Amino acid sequence: MEQKKSNKTLYRVAKVFISCFMLFSAWFSYTHGEDLRKLGFPDYFRIELVIAKVLGAIVLLLPFTPLRVKEWVYAGFMIAMVSALIAHICSGDPLSKVIFVSVDMVLMLLAIRYVSKTENQSI
């Protein structure tokens, strides 16, 4: 019983982490348009990213969201993270930025893996 309660807590923390991370990313994308232009992204795409990240973060936190929808949100978040990593590498950003994005992506992947595994066990 105690193990199940601990897993439920970790599950919620991982979901909140993912949502907060993407909300922060959306805020950063919205307020730092010049940085995204340096990566080669036009302003309309920046706005699309902001909207998608905010909606995805909210959808993950809603308790009645179907598992299939959450899986698509996770997939979209990972596509955004991989695209960000490629953009930083191709734009000639310093290694520190590439490492930062890589670490963020690994943390996100681990959290998504844990949440996905837990949701499939129907917590």
- Type of residue at 72: W
Q: pLDDT per residue over 69-113, tens digit each?
A: 988 998 999 999 999 999 999 999 999 989 988 988 888 888 878
The rounded distance, in Å, linking the Cα atoms of 105 and 38 is 20
Whether residue 26 contacts residue 53, with contact meaning beta carbons closer than 8 Å, is answered with yes
pTM for the whole structure: 0.82
pLDDT at 117 over 80: no
pLDDT at 1: 63
Tell me how many domains the chain contains: 1
User: What number of CA atoms fall less than 13 Å from residue 103's CA on the CB side?
Assistant: 6
pLDDT at 85: 92
Work out the mean pLDDT of the chain and round it to a whole number. Answer: 88
pLDDT at 118 over 70: yes
Q: Which range marks the domain in which residue 106 is found?
A: 2-120
